[in-house]
Amino acid sequence: MDFAKRAYDHSFRLDPIVRSLLDTDFYKLLMGQFIFENYPKTQVTFGLINRTRTVRLAEIIPEAELRAQLDHVRTLRFRPNELIWIAGATFYGQERMFRPAFIEFLRTLSMPDYALRIEDGQYVLTFSGSWAEVTWWEIYALAIVSELKSRAGHRRRSELELDFLYAWAKSKLLAKLQPLKALESLALSDFGTRRRHSFLWQEWTVRAMADVLGPRFVGTSNAFLAFKHGLDAKGTNAHELPMVLAALARDDTELRASQYELLRRWQEAYSSNLLVALPDTFGTTQFLRDAPDWLAADWRGYRPDSKPPFEAGEEIIDWLLREGVDPTSRFLLFSDGLDVAVPGHTPHGEDITSIHRRFAGRVGLAYGWGTNATNDFRGCDPLGETLFDPLSLVCKVVAADGRPAVKLSDNFNKATGPAGEIERYRRVFGLEGVGGAPVEV
């Protein structure tokens, strides 16, 4: 792929960013079936949040382009061969994981409408309707906005400048992959769909990871790329599930218990390595402290997502030991802003190599490498500007059945929801173990 020529000679009328409804994170399929079967009548609203407020997206991305890409997604349907793959492929060693009624739901699925306006230089983009339908918009919206920002940068560079841009980005990625080759028992997946530089760049990155890392690269969260290239599809569940169940709680007692009620229901739907708990939605420390015994006895993995990796890993290992569980029989899935330290590039916080060296042999390990693999163009622009730097962009559920949704996380700077509801949740769940750190991606 000649990225510079493709980016510079951009004469396509639309050039869709989302080419298929399968171009999404695999956990959307898993969660989609769970939502379809358990919460078919629940109504939700999702909203786009640009945490990099200094980048005024509405002044960079033309509204007409954004609408055209969103409208294109609404014309897409799952293709017959994609549905055959979903219905018949083996995922996590399990055959026919997706049931016929859900496959039929996917066959006619179309994206509901969206609402778009501009406020203080930012796009206010929301999606409302049935949870079973609206949930799919999350990844499509993020990928569209992220790539449109890249395309806006392309228009400000010559073909030669773009050639340098991509040459340096390729060199930077290779420099990151080299030290990963030396890590014994590495299990690394691509988690980079939502904030990728572009679809084509993510595809190139995934193929490069597979070629350079060999068996240390274990798959991709992107269902379309897994389907197209015969890779293992990776993913389990995300924050939206406990956020919605919490929003539906009728009182504080039910609110506090909702995080475990969700996992109990998930365990009824899935098994084995799909039993991976995400403990930080309302704070990891309180989650582990009050967790029922079966979360240590039955669940296979835990995904730290907003606490510094060393701190989170040690906390979960200590909890497993207190529960009488051998940590080496479980695994930690690190995925929060992961990066690799190389000469001239120092990540924020602990990198993959240092995490691996700290925990290898003490607990099972897996890594989901996202934005800093599929969109790390920092320092690659030949004119020294930040046009191609990644954003901290999310699309979160903001309401369920008319009630506000909240995420606290282990990082004060990642909390989302109305201020009054955030304070209520902090009162219910407490602040133990919660800190503050810059949010880069």
Helical spans, DSSP H, in 117-276: 131-134, 137-154, 159-180, 199-213, 223-229, 240-248, 252-269
Domain locations in the chain?
3-429
| CA 358 centroid distance within chain | 25
181: phi then psi, degrees, rounded to nearest 5: -65, -25
pLDDT tens profile 325-377: 999 999 999 999 999 998 878 777 789 999 999 999 999 999 999 999 999 99
Query: 365 pairs with which residues across the strands?
Result: 332
92: region left, alpha or beta (phi > 0 left; psi from -120 to 50 alpha): left
H or E element: which one contains 85?
A: helix 80-88
Question: Please, what CATH class does the domain formed by 3-429 belong to?
Answer: alpha beta
Q: Assess contact for 330 and 320: CB atoms under 8 A.
A: yes
pLDDT per residue of the chain (441 residues) written in tens, 0 to 9: 788 888 877 666 678 999 999 999 999 999 999 999 999 999 999 999 999 999 999 999 999 999 999 999 999 999 999 999 999 999 999 999 999 999 999 999 999 999 999 999 999 999 999 999 999 999 999 999 999 999 999 999 999 999 999 999 999 999 999 999 999 999 999 999 999 999 999 999 999 999 999 999 999 999 999 999 999 999 999 999 999 999 999 999 999 999 999 999 999 999 999 999 999 999 999 999 999 999 999 999 999 988 999 999 999 999 999 999 999 999 999 999 999 998 878 777 789 999 999 999 999 999 999 999 999 999 999 999 999 999 999 999 999 999 999 999 999 888 999 999 999 999 999 999 998 655 555
How big, in percent rounded to 5, are the helix, strand and coil portions of the chain? 45, 15, 40
Q: What is the DSSP letter of 416?
A: B
User: pTM to 2 decimals?
Assistant: 0.95
pLDDT tens profile 153-185: 999 999 999 999 999 999 999 999 999 999 999
Reduced to 3 states (helix: H, G, I; strand: E, B; else coil), residue 25 is strand
